[in-house]
Amino acid sequence: MYAVVETGGKQYMVRKGLRIKVEHIPHEPGTTIELTPILIKKDDGSLELNKGKVLAEVLSHGKHKKVIVFKFRAKKNYKRWRGHRQPYTEILIKDVKEE
């Protein structure tokens, strides 16, 4: 059984035991959070919309690799270097429950 959940403006296909990195969630590591699924596909092949819940445990917080943004204009002596590191939360999917 798997589910499609939405968090941080993005959708993720999850199943029990999966570790994923999602947009930063303001919870301490070790806490259990509940995600509401958009779609659940059961083992028998049937689909359910907006029913059930997904339990996940917050494992850690961190930042992704740095993304460099470089702007350049030829013959104008214009160069700009900017970097960005997006924060993330790593979660472990504990269970996918149907209602």
Tens-digit pLDDT profile for the chain (99 aa)? 888 999 999 999 999 999 999 999 999 999 999 998 888 888 888 888 888 889 999 999 999 999 999 999 999 999 999 999 999 999 999 999 887
Query: What is the predicted pLDDT for the residue at 51?
Result: 84
How far is 39 from 17, CA to CA, in rounded Å?
A: 18
Residue 96, both tokens: 């996918």
Query: What is the predicted pLDDT for the residue at 45?
Result: 80
Supply angle C-alpha 20, 21, 26, rounded to 5. 120
Query: What is the predicted pLDDT for the residue at 40?
Result: 82
